[in-house]
């Protein structure tokens, strides 16, 4: 079956994406709710999480994506392979991240990835970018001490801005001053593979949740 066709970019500030979502009962999603959770923000078609969930059954994986047809396709694909530690959720992250995080069991969120987000190059559109101060604050509140945020992009300007947003928050500390030369995760995204095949650079960084800091 050919992949569903959708627009490459959608405007997260449009009225269509301002409505709250129905939060699922996580006990109906994951058989073992106590497993550590990896949250992938902007998971697109979900191939990265799918491959990761297959090789890491002792973690749960949750992908968030604003293009609903991609979420439906990814969950169908997951169901056909009977992966029980993986779920995809349609939402506008900048509207729904707080209720989603609040609904999860305490102390399970241990890793967050934001990979190749829409760059929104035009200055007037940059408020549409996913990593806003409010998102960083919410992640600081719910990510466990020692937990990680992995950021990568093939657009240096976008990666620098994401890193600046996390660096500005006292709950996060960057693990390496320079760009990471390799992806520390065992799975690469489709965009990452395509970028490397073209001989173009990928900019990466990891931020740790500092144990001694708490968010109000």
118 catalytic per annotation: yes
The domain ranges of the chain are: 27-209
Task: Give the active site residue among 40, 118, 138, 154.
Answer: 118
Per-residue pLDDT at 2 exceeds 50: no
- Quick one: which of 95, 84, 96 has its CA closest to 26? 84
pLDDT tens for 105-142 read 999 999 999 999 865 444 544 455 678 999 999 999 99
pLDDT tens per residue across span 151-197: 999 999 999 999 999 999 999 999 999 999 999 999 999 999 999 99
- CATH of 27-209 among 3.40.50.150, 2.20.28.120, 3.40.190.10, 3.40.30.10: 3.40.50.150
Check residue 5 and give its pLDDT: 56
């Amino acid at each position: 079956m050919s992949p569903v066709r959708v627009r490459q970019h959608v405007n997260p500030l449009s009225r269509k994406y301002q409505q709250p979502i129905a939060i699922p009962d996580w006990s109906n999603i994951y058989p073992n709710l106590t497993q550590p959770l990896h949250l992938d923000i902007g998971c697109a078609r979900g191939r990265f999480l799918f491959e990761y969930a297959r090789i890491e059954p002792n973690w749960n994986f949750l992908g968030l994506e604003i293009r609903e047809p991609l979420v439906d396709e990814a969950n169908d694909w997951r169901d056909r392979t009977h992966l029980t530690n993986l779920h995809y959720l349609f939402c506008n992250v900048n509207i729904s991240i707080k209720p989603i995080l609040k609904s999860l069991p305490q102390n399970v969120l241990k890793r967050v990835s934001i990979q190749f987000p829409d760059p929104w190059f035009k200055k007037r559109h940059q408020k549409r970018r996913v990593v806003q101060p409010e998102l960083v604050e919410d992640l600081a509140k719910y990510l466990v001490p020692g937990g990680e945020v992995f950021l990568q992009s093939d657009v240096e300007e976008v990666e620098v801005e994401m890193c600046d947003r996390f660096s500005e928050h006292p709950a996060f500390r960057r693990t390496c001053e320079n760009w990471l030369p390799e992806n520390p995760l065992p799975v690469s995204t489709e965009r990452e593979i395509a970028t490397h095949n073209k001989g173009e650079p990928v900019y990466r960084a990891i931020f740790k949740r500092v144990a001694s800091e708490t968010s109000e």
